[in-house]
Amino acid sequence: MVTRTRPVAAMAVRSRSSSRTGTAYLLLVLCEVSWAQIFSFPFRRPETCDFNQYFDISALSCAPCGANQRRDALERRY
């Protein structure tokens, strides 16, 4: 009776390397996802703007008022 041991061993090696490659790829993807969750940008609250600034909602920051502009006098300061 003849047994074929070499192809079986070669298949086992191939499946191990492919599982290692898959594991490495999965770890790489998970690391990239975790970096995406860490991303942040500085946020200023509207209450922190100075008297000659207004809160720009598109940039989520304080911006200087124009030459002939000023903040509303009735605006509450918390």
**Per-residue model confidence (pLDDT) at position 24:** 79
Give the side-chain half-sphere CA count within 13 A for 70: 4
Higher pLDDT, 63 or 12: 63
Q: What is the pLDDT of residues 15-73, one digit of tens each?
A: 556 778 888 777 777 666 555 566 666 677 888 888 888 888 888 888 999 888 877 76
CA distance to 25, 44, 46, 63, 76, per residue, from 57 (Å): 39, 10, 9, 10, 18
Q: Which two tokens stand for residue 68?
A: 């002939």
7 vs 31, higher pLDDT: 31
pTM of the model: 0.40
